[in-house]
Chain A
Amino acid sequence: MNSLFIGIISIVGTVTVYLLTWKLHKRIDSPITLPVFMGSIIIIIGLVIFDIPYDTYMIGGEWINQLLGPAVVALAYPLYQQRRLLKQLIYPVLGGTLVGAIVGVFSGMIIAIWTGVEDYIIYSLIPKSVTTPVSMVITDSIGGVMSLAAVFVVIAGIGGAIMSPFIFKLFNIKHVYGRGVGMGSASHAIGTAQAMESSQLEGSVSTIAMVLSAIAVSIIAPMMVFLFM
């Protein structure tokens, strides 16, 4: 079988699985049905059953991977949509997001160093609080593994969404902006989706925090790695 044929099959397969899980997630709104979670698991099971090596699958997967770059560029669009709110809230939101980004990179890195986690895993978990495509390119640039980064991002997203009601209560974070920034900074798109359910405003603030945090972490992460690793 030539590689073009394999490539087309894996692209069509990936897109089909994605669309199916996307439809399922629209119907059953749960973290488990998130396409990145469910879709990846379905493809992994498929590869294991048919004994297909990951490298073979990536002949086509690489083509989809190529679109990660423009996908990150497209994230300027949600930020642009919220430009009025952004202008109005620039200091509190930027301040909260920046401090959050520093805490996220630093705490993940330091605890992992203390507990003796291997370097390549540390590099992969450092950008866990930002949206997957950005976290993947950050991980790639500091020497981590993109697929591990994706897993840690999903854990941070689902974990944060589940923990958020307790955290907000425990630390008395009542302010809608504080909650929005907390969700977007810690749990990116998954947190934003949940914030959106609380209120449109909280979701919009979370969207801003998510994109700003992605920019902040992409600057902070390489610097911290340079300083501490």
Chain B
Amino acid sequence: MLRISRILIHIVVLYIIFLIGDWIQQTWNLVVPGSVIGMLIFFVLLLSNVIKIKWIEEGTKIFVNHLTLFFIPATVGVINYFELFSGKGLLIVFIVLLSTAMVMVVSGLVTQWLMGKREVPHE
């Protein structure tokens, strides 16, 4: 019971950071989603030791490990778009795959190129 309430508090902290990010986004009319701003805030708070990771590690870990749960309901919404996949579906899937391959090639090559001759650590 103690563990559950601790985790709930951790989640509330994450939620508050999200709300702050959302507030910033709306106040300055930014294009970046409030939750992503919240992520950056959380990262800075962790780096600067304002929030010690130990304080909220338990809940955060559960969130990260079970991220999938939070987007299953929205994914199920594809139920309303089935006719789409019978029509142009194949073309769209092809576009997604082609673009994905392009990202992988370019980001991999650019990183490799920027690394230059730097030593590759072996494990």
Closest Cβ–Cβ distance, residue B60 to chain A (whole Å): 5
The interface on chain B, measured as residues whose beta carbon lies within 8 A of the other chain's beta carbons, has a size of 73
Q: How far is the CA of A182 from the CA of B97 in the complex (A)?
A: 14
Report the Cα distance A107→B103, complex, angstroms.
Answer: 9
Contact B104 A92 (CB under 8 A): no
Q: How many residues of A contact B (CB 8 A)?
A: 112
Task: Enumerate chain A residues within 8 angstroms of B42, measured Cβ to Cβ.
Answer: 73-74, 76-77
Asked whether A15 is an interface residue with its Cβ less than 8 Å from the other chain, the reply is: yes
* Chain A residues close to B by CB (< 8 Å): 10, 14-15, 17-18, 22, 34-36, 39-40, 43-44, 47-48, 54, 57-58, 60-62, 64-65, 67-80, 83, 91-93, 95-97, 99-101, 103-104, 107-108, 111-112, 115, 117, 121, 125, 128-129, 131-134, 136-138, 140-141, 145-148, 150-152, 154-156, 159-160, 163-164, 167-168, 171, 173-183, 185-187, 189, 199-201, 209, 211, 214-215, 218-219, 222-223, 226
Question: CB distance A182 to B105 under 8 Å?
Answer: yes
B71 on the A face (CB < 8 A): yes
Compute how far the CA of A175 lies from the CA of B111 in the bound complex, rounded to whole angstroms.
9
Beyond A69-B34, A137-B36, A181-B108, 6 additional contacts (C-beta under 8 Å) are: A67-B70, A74-B39, A96-B114, A125-B95, A168-B108, A201-B121
CB-CB under 8 A for A146 and B67, given A107-B102, A121-B84: no
